[in-house]
C-alpha cells in the first residue's frame, strides 16, 4: 500500500486513467449505479464538426462535464448524449471555398445533389478530432449514440414542430425588408444579427443632399444619409409633422449659386454657424474648411406644412408607377442628427418600407430575368444594369480586392457635379455584418417565412423569469431585454444544405399545405399520384433523403387539382439546434417516455454568444408549443482571450492548440486553470505561464503532500483506521477535521450555485495553505518520529481522511488526478462512483477555527519580520509581542506558534511601548480646509501626547480636542521600532519581534543550521529517510565547544546512533561551511559502523 507515484507527470497519468476507464467502462458504471436516482436532465448544445475544436470548446465542455459529474456523485441519474449540428451557412461556405464556387454556381456548375453530398461529407470531417478531444479532456458524454441534425428522423421531428407553429397561426409568409447577406446569399434573422461581434465600427461617407422642389426651382429640401448608395432608390422624403422647420437663404457651398434650403430649426446650427447670419451673401463668405456659410432665415413653419409637397428625383434610372417623390410625415424622424428630413428608400429600410406602404409611395423596382420585381441592387450586392452610371458596382465591399473603391464616393462626386451635394462628411457608426462571412449586410426586400415571435413576447418574458441564469444579469438584462423587444423570426433561408421548409403551395398562392410527418407526406404523394402529378412515391424507398433536391421534386395536389410545389427555402439552422430536446428522441413518433423524463432540461451551458442563438431558439420553441421553459438552469461562459485580452485568431497568431496544451500540461491543469482563473461568465485571459503555475503550486503541492504521507505510511506499515473520537484529539487535529468539513460544506454550496470558480479557489486555499503549509509542516515530527504510538497513527488517519476528501471534492473539475489520488489512498473503485461527501458540521468548531486563523495570521506577520531582518528561520528568537486581546484565542495554541516561528516566549501587552514609539500628526490634506490656521495648534497638541494617550486614542478610534472629534483617517500615525525590535501592522493588528540574540540563542541557531547541513549530506549520499547513521564531525574551536552540548538534539534530529567530535580535520577540502566556518562531516550507515 501507499505506493509512490513518482515525479508529477499529469499527461502520462491521464492517459493511463483513460485506458482504465475504457477497460472498466467507468462512465457507464457511474450511470448504472444511479439509474434509480432522481433524473437530472442535461442538453448538449450540438457543435459542428466541419471545423477543428479550439480552446474555447475545452472551456465550455469543462463546465458541462463538471456539473454533470458533480450531480452524478450526488446520486442523480445524469445521462448525457452528444449531438452534431450539421446544416447551415458555416458548412456551405466552407464547401464553396473548397470547391471554388459561389452560390450562383450551385445548380449550374454543380448539381444541388452533388453540392449537398459534399456538405454532408464536410460536416463530419473533423468528428474524429472532436471525439479525441472529448475523451482526452475527460468530458463524459455518450459519443456512441449521438443525435445528428441531418438524420431523417431528426428532420421529421422538426417538420412536426413547424407544422405545430403553422397550425397555431405562428408560421406565416410575408414580403418585408430583412437583413440580407450578399456574401452568403441569404437572409438572416434578427438574433443572428445580434450575435457577439456582428456589429462593427465602420466609417462611411455621409451626404447632405439637395432635393429640388417641383414648384420652386430655387428651393431645395435638405436630407442627410449615411447610405449614399440608396439614393438612386429614393421615393420620398419624411418630416416630423410637429417639428419646426426653417427656410434659409444661402449659397450653394460648391458652386456659390444663391439658393434657398429647408431644414429643421434644431438642425440649423449643424449647418450654419451663428456668425454666418451677419455675413454678406457673397462667395467671399463661403469657407468649406471651417464650414462657414452666409445665410438668412426667410421663414419658420411646422413640419405638417411640408407634407404633400413634391420634389424632383435625384436620379431617373427607373420611373415607378405611382405617386412617388413627395414629402410624407413619419414618427421616426429625429432632429438629433442630420437635417430633420429623412430620405426614404422603401426597398432598403424596414421603417422606409412601412411608412412608404402606409402613404402609398411606390418602391423603385425593375423586373429581373425571371420577370419578378427586383430592387436596383441585386442579391450579390451590385447595382443592376439600369443604374447606368454605376452598373455592376458593389454598394459595399463584398470583394477581397484591396483596391476596392466605394461607390458612395462616386455617387457623391456625381451629385456635386449636378449641384445637388450640400455637404460631405465621414460618419463613424456601428454597422451589422454577417456572422459567418464577416461582410456587411444589406436591408433588402425579401419574401420569406416568419415565426410570429412578437405574439409570444409576454409569454417569453414571463417564462424567462422562472429560469435560473448564472449569472443572473444575463437573464435579466441581455436575454430579458432582448425578449421584451423581440421581433418576428425570419425562418427561411435561400440556401441548399439545410432542413427543407415542409410547405407546398400552388403557383397562384391560393392553396398551401404544411407537412408534419413522413407518413403525412407519403399519403399526400399518393394523392398526387392518383391525380397524375407524381409517377412514384420516393418515400417507398428505404434510403429516402428528405433534403434538397429530392424533396424539391415532390409535387402535391391542391383541392382544386392544381399542382403544389415546395417552397424552395431551407430553414434557419438555429431552429435545428433549438429543436434538439424533441428531435433527438424522434419525438413524438418514438421515445415519448424518454422525452417526458428529459424535458425540460435541468441544466445547459454554452458561451455568452448563444444568448441570441441556441438559448433563444430553445426558449422560443418550448414556450410557443409546450408553454414551458426548455431549461431550468443555464451556466453562461465568457470568451477565451489571449493573455493581452485580444480575441484569438489565426491572423494574430495567438490561437492555442488544445491538443498541444493537453499533451504538454494535461487536461486537469487546463480544466482547473480555466475554471479557477475567473468566474465562468467572465472572459478568460489565457496565459500559459499561469497555467504552469497551477501545475506547480496546486497540483505540485497536493502531489507532494500525498508523497509525504505515502512515504512515512509505507515506512511505518500504517493501515487505514477509523477516526478517533473528536474529544481525544489534539487541537491541531480537531482543527483540520473541522476545516475539512467546513470546506466540504462551502464547496458543495459553490457547486450547487453553479459557481465552480469558488469551489476551485476554496480547494486551492485549503490544500496549499491549510493542509500543506500549516498542518503538515507543523506535524512533521509526528510522522518522522520512531515511536509507532496512537499520536502517530492519528496523524496518518487524519491526513489520509483530508486527502481522500480533497479527491472527492476536486473530482468534478479535475477528474484524472482525483482518480489517481483516490486509487492510491483507497485502493479500489473509482472516485466518480463514490457518493459526494456530506459535510459533518458538528466536527467544525468556529472558535477553534477563529483561534487558528489568528494564529496563522500572527505567524505570517512574524515570518515577514524575520524575512525583513534577514534572520534565518532556524535561528531562535527571544520573544514576540502580540496584543493582549489575542490571549484568549492564542493561549491554547501558543506552543504551535512558538514552534512555527521559532520563538522562546510570547508576551501579551496592551501596548508595544517597549518595542515601538508612536507619533500622531494631522492629515494636512484632509484637515487643512476644515481647521485653517488652527491646524498648527492641533499639530502642537499632538506632539505633547504621551505614548499611553496615543494608544488610548487608537483604541477609541478617534481623537477629542477642544470639543471636536477627529477620526483616525484625519490623523497620520507613525511608528518607529526601538533598537533591537522590528514591528509591523496589518488590518489593525500590530506585532513586534525582539531580534536581540543572546550567546545561548546563537549557539542553538548554529546547532540547528548544522542539523540542516547534515540532512543535506544525507540526501546527497542517497540515504533513505529511515536509514540510521553514524556521524563524525570536525569543527574548529571554539565552535565545537559551543555545539557539543547540543549532541542529543543533533543525533535525534538526524537519526544518528552516534556522533564523534573529531580533534583534527581529515585531509582534503572541507565539504561544507557553517556560515564561514569550515565543516567536515563523515556519514556512514549505522550497521556499517557497528
Same domain for 468 and 410 = no
Detail the DSSP E strand segments found in 926-1019: 958-961, 964-967, 971-977, 981-986, 989-994
Asked if pLDDT for residue 941 goes beyond 60, the answer is: yes
Q: Quick one: pLDDT at residue 1090?
A: 39
Boundary-marking domain end, from 670, 702, 736: 670
Please tell me the pTM assigned to this model: 0.84
Note whether residue 909 is domain-resident.
Answer: no
Degrees to nearest 5, angle at CA 640 with 634 and 642: 165
Per the DSSP assignment, residues forming a β-bridge with 247 are 262, 299
Same domain for 319 and 265 = yes
Residue matched to cell numbers 452524478: 72
CATH of the domain at 793: 1.10.730.10
Q: Quick one: pLDDT at residue 850?
A: 93
Asked if pLDDT for residue 21 goes beyond 60, the answer is: yes
Asked if pLDDT for residue 1068 goes beyond 70, the answer is: no
Half-sphere exposure of 855 (CA within 13 A, CB side): 29
Q: State the average pLDDT for the chain.
A: 92
Cα separation of 222 and 235, whole Å? 15
* 607 — pLDDT class (breaks 50, 70, 90): very high
Catalytic residue list:
46, 85, 574, 610, 614, 647, 650
Cα separation of 321 and 536, whole Å? 47
User: For the residues 772-781, what does the mean pLDDT come to?
Assistant: 93
Write out pLDDT tens, residues 707-722. 999 999 999 999 999 9
Boundary-marking domain end, from 543, 573, 603: 573
Note whether residue 872 is domain-resident.
Answer: no
Asked if pLDDT for residue 392 goes beyond 70, the answer is: yes
Nine-digit cell at 363? 418602391
Cα separation of 437 and 399, whole Å? 11
* 979 — pLDDT class (breaks 50, 70, 90): low
Same domain for 210 and 188 = no
Same domain for 210 and 338 = yes
Helix (H) or strand (E) holding 160: helix 152-167
For the purposes of burial, counting CB atoms within 10 Å of the CB of 694, is it exposed (0-12), middle (13-18) or buried (19 or more)? Answer: buried
Same domain for 826 and 710 = yes
For the purposes of burial, counting CB atoms within 10 Å of the CB of 326, is it exposed (0-12), middle (13-18) or buried (19 or more)? Answer: middle
Q: How many domains does the chain have?
A: 6
Same domain for 465 and 588 = no
Cα separation of 918 and 1006, whole Å? 35
Same domain for 238 and 93 = no
Q: Quick one: pLDDT at residue 915?
A: 63
Write out pLDDT tens, residues 404-430. 899 999 999 999 999 999 999 999 888
Whether 658 contacts 52, CB under 8 Å: no
Note whether residue 10 is domain-resident.
Answer: no
Asked if pLDDT for residue 1089 goes beyond 50, the answer is: no
Query: Dihedral of CA 653/654/655/658: which sign?
Result: positive
The percent of residues in the chain predicted with pLDDT above 90, rounded, is 71
Same domain for 296 and 255 = yes
Write out pLDDT tens, residues 553-586. 999 999 999 999 999 999 999 999 999 999 999 9
Same domain for 1027 and 964 = no
Same domain for 526 and 405 = no
Q: Quick one: pLDDT at residue 114?
A: 96
DSSP structural state of residue 77: B
Note whether residue 286 is domain-resident.
Answer: yes
Closest C-alpha among 423, 430, 419, 424 to residue 406 = 424
Write out pLDDT tens, residues 72-105. 999 999 999 999 999 988 899 889 989 999 888 9
Please indicate whether residue 326 or residue 283 has the higher confidence score (pLDDT). Answer: 326
Write out pLDDT tens, residues 501-552. 999 999 999 999 999 999 999 999 999 999 999 999 999 999 999 999 999 9
Same domain for 229 and 174 = no
CATH of the domain at 661: 3.40.50.620
Note whether residue 885 is domain-resident.
Answer: no
Asked if pLDDT for residue 978 goes beyond 90, the answer is: no
Boundary-marking domain end, from 795, 816, 844: 844
CATH of the domain at 1031: 3.30.2320
* 947 — pLDDT class (breaks 50, 70, 90): confident
Q: Which of 200-214, 221-235, 360-374, 768-782 has the lowest mean pLDDT?
A: 360-374
Cα separation of 468 and 472, whole Å? 7
CATH of the domain at 340: 3.90.740.10
Asked if pLDDT for residue 861 goes beyond 80, the answer is: yes
Write out pLDDT tens, residues 38-76. 999 999 999 988 888 999 999 999 999 999 999 999 999
Write out pLDDT tens, residues 676-730. 999 999 999 999 999 999 999 999 999 999 999 999 999 999 999 998 898 899 9
Note whether residue 897 is domain-resident.
Answer: no
How far CA 177 is from CA of 318, 490, 601, 980, in Å, comes to 20, 11, 36, 84
- For 429-446, b/e burial (b = at least 16 CB within 10 A) is eebbbbbbbebbbbbbbb
* 933 — pLDDT class (breaks 50, 70, 90): confident
What CA dihedral angle connects 593, 594, 599 and 602, to 10 degrees? 130
Whether 379 contacts 398, CB under 8 Å: no
Same domain for 179 and 314 = no
Asked if pLDDT for residue 444 goes beyond 50, the answer is: yes
Q: Quick one: pLDDT at residue 995?
A: 87
Residue 943 lies in domain: 916-977
Helices (H) then strands (E): counts for the chain: 39, 40
Write out pLDDT tens, residues 26-37. 999 999 999 999
Q: Which of 396-400, 503-507, 645-649, 1033-1037 has the lowest mean pLDDT?
A: 645-649
Asked if pLDDT for residue 609 goes beyond 90, the answer is: no
Note whether residue 473 is domain-resident.
Answer: yes
Note whether residue 475 is domain-resident.
Answer: yes
Amino acid at each position: 500500500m501507499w505506493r509512490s507515484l513518482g515525479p508529477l507527470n499529469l499527461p502520462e497519468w491521464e492517459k493511463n486513467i483513460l485506458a482504465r476507464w475504457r477497460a472498466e467502462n467507468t462512465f457507464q458504471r457511474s450511470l448504472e449505479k444511479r439509474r434509480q436516482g432522481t433524473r437530472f436532465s442535461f442538453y448538449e448544445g450540438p457543435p459542428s464538426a466541419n471545423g477543428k475544436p479550439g480552446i474555447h470548446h475545452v472551456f465550455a465542455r469543462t463546465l458541462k462535464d463538471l456539473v454533470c459529474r458533480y450531480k452524478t456523485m450526488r446520486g442523480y441519474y445524469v445521462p448525457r448524449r452528444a449531438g452534431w449540428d450539421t446544416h447551415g451557412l458555416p458548412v456551405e461556405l466552407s464547401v464553396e471555398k473548397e470547391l471554388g464556387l459561389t452560390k450562383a454556381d450551385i445548380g449550374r456548375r454543380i448539381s444541388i445533389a452533388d453540392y449537398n453530398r459534399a456538405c454532408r461529407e464536410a460536416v463530419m470531417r473533423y468528428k474524429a478530432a472532436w471525439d479525441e478531444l472529448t475523451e482526452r479532456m475527460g468530458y463524459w458524454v455518450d459519443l456512441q449514440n449521438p443525435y445528428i441534425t441531418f438524420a431523417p428522423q431528426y428532420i421529421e421531428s422538426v417538420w412536426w414542430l413547424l407544422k405545430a407553429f403553422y397550425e397555431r397561426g405562428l408560421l406565416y409568409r410575408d414580403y418585408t425588408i430583412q437583413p440580407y447577406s450578399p456574401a452568403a446569399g441569404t437572409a438572416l434573422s434578427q438574433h443572428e444579427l445580434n450575435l457577439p461581434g456582428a456589429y462593427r465600427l465602420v466609417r462611411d461617407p455621409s451626404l447632405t443632399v439637395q432635393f429640388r422642389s417641383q414648384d420652386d426651382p430655387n428651393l431645395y429640401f435638405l436630407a442627410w444619409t449615411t447610405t449614399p448608395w440608396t439614393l438612386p432608390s429614393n421615393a420620398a422624403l419624411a418630416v416630423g409633422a410637429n417639428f419646426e422647420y426653417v427656410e434659409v437663404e444661402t449659397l450653394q457651398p460648391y458652386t456659390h449659386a444663391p439658393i434657398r434650403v429647408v431644414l429643421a430649426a434644431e438642425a440649423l446650427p449643424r449647418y450654419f454657424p451663428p456668425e454666418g447670419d451677419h455675413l454678406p451673401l457673397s462667395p467671399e463668405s463661403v469657407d468649406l474648411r471651417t464650414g462657414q456659410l452666409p445665410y438668412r432665415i426667410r421663414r419658420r413653419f411646422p413640419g405638417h406644412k411640408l407634407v404633400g409637397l413634391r420634389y424632383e428625383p435625384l436620379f431617373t434610372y427607373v420611373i415607378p408607377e405611382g405617386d412617388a417623390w413627395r414629402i410624407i410625415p413619419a414618427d421616426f424622424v429625429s432632429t438629433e442628427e442630420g437635417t430633420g428630413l429623412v430620405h426614404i428608400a422603401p426597398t432598403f429600410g424596414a421603417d422606409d418600407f412601412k411608412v412608404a406602404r402606409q402613404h402609398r409611395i411606390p418602391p423603385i423596382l425593375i423586373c429581373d430575368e425571371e420577370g419578378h420585381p427586383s430592387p436596383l441592387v441585386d442579391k450579390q450586392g451590385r447595382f443592376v444594369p439600369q443604374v447606368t452610371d454605376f452598373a455592376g458596382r458593389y454598394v459595399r465591399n463584398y470583394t477581397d480586392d484591396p483596391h476596392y473603391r466605394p461607390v458612395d464616393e462616386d455617387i457623391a462626386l456625381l451629385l456635386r457635379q449636378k449641384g445637388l451635394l450640400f455637404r460631405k462628411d465621414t460618419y463613424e457608426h456601428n454597422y451589422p455584418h454577417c456572422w459567418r462571412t464577416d461582410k456587411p449586410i444589406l436591408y433588402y426586400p425579401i419574401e420569406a417565412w416568419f415565426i410570429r415571435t412578437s405574439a409570444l413576447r409576454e409569454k417569453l418574458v414571463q417564462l424567462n423569469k422562472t429560469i435560473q441564469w448564472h449569472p443572473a444579469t444575463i437573464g435579466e438584462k441581455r436575454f430579458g431585454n432582448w425578449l421584451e423587444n423581440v421581433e418576428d423570426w425570419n425562418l427561411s433561408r435561400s440556401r441548399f444544405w439545410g432542413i427543407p421548409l415542409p410547405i407546398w403551395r400552388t403557383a397562384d398562392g391560393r392553396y398551401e399545405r404544411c407537412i408534419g410527418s413522413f407518413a403525412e407526406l407519403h399519403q399526400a404523394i399518393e394523392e398526387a399520384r392518383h391525380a397524375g402529378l407524381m409517377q412514384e412515391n420516393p418515400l417507398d424507398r428505404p434510403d429516402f433523403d428528405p433534403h434538397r433536391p429530392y424533396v424539391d421534386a415532390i409535387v402535391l395536389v391542391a383541392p382544386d387539382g392544381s399542382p403544389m410545389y415546395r417552397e424552395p427555402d431551407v430553414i434557419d439552422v438555429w431552429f435545428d439546434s433549438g429543436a434538439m430536446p424533441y428531435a433527438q428522441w424522434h419525438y413524438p413518433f418514438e421515445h415519448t417516455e424518454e422525452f417526458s423524463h428529459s424535458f425540460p432540461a435541468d441544466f445547459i451551458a454554452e458561451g455568452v454568444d448563444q444568448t441570441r442563438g441556441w438559448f433563444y431558439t430553445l426558449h422560443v420553441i418550448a414556450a410557443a408549443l409546450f408553454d414551458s421553459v426548455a431549461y431550468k438552469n443555464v451556466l453562461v461562459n465568457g470568451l477565451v482571450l489571449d493573455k493581452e485580452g485580444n480575441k484569438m485568431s489565426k491572423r494574430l497568431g495567438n490561437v492555442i492548440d488544445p491538443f498541444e496544451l493537453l499533451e504538454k500540461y494535461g487536461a486537469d491543469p487546463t480544466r482547473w486553470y480555466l475554471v479557477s482563473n475567473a468566474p465562468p461568465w467572465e472572459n478568460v485571459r489565457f496565459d500559459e505561464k499561469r497555467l504552469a503555475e497551477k501545475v506547480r503550486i496546486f497540483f505540485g503541492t497536493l502531489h507532494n503532500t500525498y508523497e509525504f504521507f505515502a512515504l512515512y505510511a509505507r515506512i511505518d506499515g500504517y493501515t487505514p483506521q477509523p477516526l478517533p473520537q473528536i474529544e481525544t484529539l489534539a487541537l491541531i487535529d480537531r482543527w483540520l477535521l473541522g476545516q475539512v468539513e467546513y470546506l466540504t460544506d462551502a464547496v458543495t454550496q459553490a457547486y450547487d450555485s453553479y459557481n465552480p470558480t469558488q469551489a476551485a479557489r476554496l480547494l486551492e486555499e485549503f490544500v496549499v495553505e491549510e493542509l500543506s503549509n500549516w498542518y503538515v509542516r507543523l506535524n512533521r515530527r509526528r510522522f518522522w518520529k520512531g515511536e509507532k504510538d496512537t499520536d502517530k497513527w492519528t496523524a496518518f488517519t487524519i491526513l489520509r481522511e483530508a486527502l481522500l476528501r480533497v479527491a472527492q471534492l476536486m473530482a468534478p473539475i479535475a477528474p484524472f488526478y482525483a482518480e489517481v489520488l483516490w486509487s492510491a489512498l483507497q485502493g479500489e473503485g473509482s472516485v466518480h462512483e463514490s457518493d459526494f461527501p456530506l459535510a459533518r458540521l458538528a466536527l467544525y468548531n468556529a472558535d477553534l477555527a477563529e483561534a487558528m486563523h489568528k494564529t496563522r495570521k500572527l505567524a505570517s506577520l512574524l515570518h515577514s519580520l524575520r524575512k525583513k531582518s534577514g534572520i534565518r528561520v532556524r535561528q531562535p528568537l527571544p520573544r514576540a509581542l502580540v496584543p493582549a486581546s489575542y490571549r484568549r484565542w492564542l493561549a491554547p495554541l501558543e506552543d504551535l506558534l512558538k514552534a512555527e516561528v521559532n520563538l522562546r516566549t510570547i508576551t501579551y501587552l496592551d501596548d508595544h511601548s517597549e518595542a515601538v514609539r508612536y507619533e500622531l500628526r494631522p492629515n494636512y490634506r484632509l484637515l487643512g480646509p476644515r481647521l485653517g490656521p488652527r491646524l498648527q495648534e492641533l499639530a502642537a497638541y499632538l506632539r505633547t501626547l504621551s505614548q499611553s494617550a496615543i494608544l488610548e486614542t487608537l483604541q477609541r478610534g478617534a481623537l477629542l480636542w477642544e470639543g471636536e472629534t477627529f477620526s483616525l483617517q484625519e490623523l497620520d500615525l507613525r511608528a518607529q521600532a526601538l533598537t533591537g525590535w522590528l514591528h509591523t501592522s496589518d488590518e489593525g493588528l500590530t506585532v513586534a519581534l525582539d531580534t536581540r540574540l543572546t550567546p545561548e540563542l546563537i549557539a542553538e541557531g548554529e546547532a540547528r543550521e548544522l542539523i540542516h547541513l547534515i540532512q543535506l549530506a544525507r540526501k546527497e549520499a542517497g540515504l533513505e529517510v529511515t536509514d540510521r547513521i553514524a556521524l563524525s564531525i570536525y569543527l574548529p574551536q571554539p565552535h565545537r565547544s559551543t555545539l557539543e552540548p547540543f549532541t542529543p538534539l543533533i543525533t535525534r534530529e538526524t537519526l544518528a546512533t552516534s556522533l564523534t567530535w573529531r580533534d583534527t580535520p581529515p585531509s582534503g577540502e572541507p565539504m561544507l561551511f557553517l556560515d564561514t566556518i569550515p565543516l567536515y562531516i563523515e556519514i556512514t550507515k549505522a550497521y556499517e559502523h557497528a
